[in-house]
Structure 1
């Protein structure tokens, strides 16, 4: 019985393979933070019927600034860390490590940005693009929560609860946008 609970189905293995392929830039702590940040930016920037191009510019500029600050902070922390300094971590190594760890903050905006871009090109109407981009954060956070609990081999009920809990961070911004409108 215990062995059966720890085994994964082919569909679950497919989800895990998909996540492993995305993990370097997407399934990280900084990607979760970036997804929440982007959701908040979309919720705030898309008030008063802003066009998707205005929202896209706001998101892109803010994410790049936060990403740069994250890289800078990582370099500074690693370079000044006694453990790393004694083991020979120089400025370049600290910079590379910081870039690698903060990549998720930058890549987490890709899906919402593509949706907003579809709004700017009129593939999707502006208002709809803004809402779909906002909802994409909910879906992404839910996916990351599901995968986290799947990797722990949690039972299905726990995976679903974990999905709902992580998706709720994005849902807060959907509610915020609805209240502001």
Structure 2
């Protein structure tokens, strides 16, 4: 979303609001889809809807958490601590780094091989770098 909103001449404030709104909408959709899909698994529970909803909130929390760091960086541009361009570019590069860390740590669930985990992390970070480069070519 940072990439899309920054294609036009926009301020950090506009990007912040659009990205925040998009994250909330996607999060709500994810919570809903997860809760509905979980209903079949817990159909025999005392309160299947409540149990499914609790599970969905916990399962979907990562989507909100992942947005905190880049949105905080964009917020620095909103309050004029850094320029809009620096805020948006920094948020994009931080996203790429976060993808790398996510790849590294999540691969720990299926391998303890440090070399492989580093390669997985580099691969997911490369995905983020591709997004940043795409932004550079579009803009």
In the alignment, the residues of structure 2 paired with residue 158 and residue 129 of structure 1 have an alpha-carbon distance, to the nearest angstrom, of 33
Cross-structure match for 1:176? 134
1:154 counterpart = 2:113: yes
Q: Distance in 2 between matches of 1:75 and 1:149?
A: 26
Structure 2 counterpart of 1:114: 72
TM-score normalized with structure 1 length: 0.71
Q: Which moved more, 1:133-142 or 1:163-172?
A: 163-172
Q: CA deviation at 1:116?
A: 0.3
Which aligned segments of 4 or more residues in structure 1 are displaced greater than 6 angstroms? none
Deviates more, 1:87-96 or 1:63-72: 87-96
Question: How far apart, in 2, do the equivalents of 1:175 and 1:60 lie?
Answer: 23
- Asked if structure 2 preserves the Cα contact closer than 8 Å seen for 1:52 and 1:120, the reply is yes
> TM-score, structure 2 length as denominator?
0.91
1:54 maps to what in 2?
14
The equivalent residue for 1:136 is 94
| CA displacement at 1:175 relative to structure 2 | 1.1
Runs of at least 5 residues in structure 2 that lack an aligned partner in the other structure = none
Check conservation: 1:49, 1:127, Cα contact below 8 A: no
Between 1:167-176 and 1:113-122, the stretch displaced more is 167-176
Partner Cα distance (1:148, 1:70) in 2: 20
Unaligned runs of 5+ in 1: 1-40
How many residue pairs match? The answer is 138
Matching residue of 2:49: 91
In structure 2, distance between residues paired with 1:173 and 1:130: 13
Determine which of 34, 38, 46 is the counterpart of 1:78: 38
